[in-house]
Amino acid sequence: MKPRSDADAALLAAVREGDGSMAGEAIAAGADVNAADAHGVTPLLEATGQGHLEMARYLLSRGAEIGYTGMSEGSPLMLAAFMGQVEVLRLFLDAGADANLAMPERGETALHMTAAAGRTEAATVLLAAGADPNRHAKSGVVTDLFDGGVKLWGETPLHFAAAYGDEEMIRAMLQAGADTATLNAHGETPLEYAGRHKRERSILKLLK
């Protein structure tokens, strides 16, 4: 049998390639289905990033941790949401993933991530699963959602949707109970975010 670290590396490589046979061999050789590499990437995160739906399903069947938040970019659910991997997202929700799981240090949820990335279909799937459009992120901490060391200031998903989402996303959040009067840590509403990002008049009207 290979040393455990070699088996773990072999599993990640197999997942990256979407090779179920090799993944099975690595697990049989002692690979830990939840082992993370130096960047905090687990096999399930790798499958998500590659869009390998059946591999993700297989890893879940072998005990992959669906609520893992050890990678700075987020949990498997969050990564699927941010990337717009809708079928993978549905798989995770059906497997019991928490639609409102938040990053421990920053407080963003998967819905924050869909909004920041403009992933409307993913946002509607999350909202249907009970994702909270009024959940505030933490304040004063740098987020990985944007380049350049951008800090969070207690935004809700609606703040980000106001800046980056389309009308369909914003309407879906409003129908799910999103509060247009909610404030970030600086006292700004989603409408003010939309205005600062020079959004079209139809979006500004929705947020008034």
pLDDT tens-digit profile of 61-92? 999 999 999 888 899 999 999 999 999 999 99
Q: Which two tokens stand for residue 55?
A: 């591999």
Q: Which two tokens stand for residue 178?
A: 């999103």
Q: What is the mean pLDDT of residues 7-27?
A: 96
Domain boundaries, the chain: 1-98, 99-208
Entry pTM: 0.93
Which pairing describes strands 139-142 and 151-153: parallel, antiparallel, or unpaired?
antiparallel
Question: What pLDDT is attached to residue 8?
Answer: 95
Q: For residue 45, how many other CB atoms are within 10 A of its CB? A: 28
**For residue 59, pLDDT beyond 90:** yes
Query: Residue 162, class by beta-carbon neighbours within 10 Å (0-12 exposed, 13-18 middle, 19+ buried)?
Result: buried
Torsions phi, psi of 62, nearest 5? -100, 10
Q: Are 10 and 47 in contact (CB under 8 A)?
A: no
CATH superfamily for 1-98 is Ankyrin repeat-containing domain (1.25.40.20)
CB under 8 Å to 82, separation ≥6 — which residues?
A: 73, 74, 110, 113, 114, 116, 117, 119, 145
Question: What pLDDT is attached to residue 122?
Answer: 98
Helix (H) or strand (E) holding 139: strand 139-142
**For residue 3, pLDDT beyond 70:** no
Q: For residue 31, how many other CB atoms are within 10 A of its CB? A: 26
* Measured distance CA(134)–CA(206) in Å, rounded: 16
Q: What is the mean pLDDT of residues 132-155?
A: 95
Question: What pLDDT is attached to residue 81?
Answer: 97
Residue 170 pLDDT class (50, 70, 90 cuts): very high
Torsions phi, psi of 102, nearest 5? -115, 150
Question: What pLDDT is attached to residue 72?
Answer: 83
Residue in the block written with tokens 């929705």: 206
Q: What is the mean pLDDT of residues 176-193?
A: 98
101-138 pLDDT, tens digit per residue, is 999 999 999 999 999 999 999 999 999 999 999 999 99
CATH superfamily for 99-208 is Ankyrin repeat-containing domain (1.25.40.20)
**For residue 96, pLDDT beyond 70:** yes
Q: Do 1-98 and 99-208 show the same overall fold? A: yes
Mean pLDDT value across the chain: 95
- For the chain, what is the largest distance between any 2 Cα atoms, rounded to a whole number of angstroms? 64
Q: What is the 3-state secondary structure (H, E, C) of 86-99?
A: HHHHHHHHHCCCCC
Residue 4 pLDDT class (50, 70, 90 cuts): low
Helix (H) or strand (E) holding 6: helix 4-17
Residue 198 pLDDT class (50, 70, 90 cuts): very high
Residue in the block written with tokens 């997202």: 89
Torsions phi, psi of 142, nearest 5? -75, 135
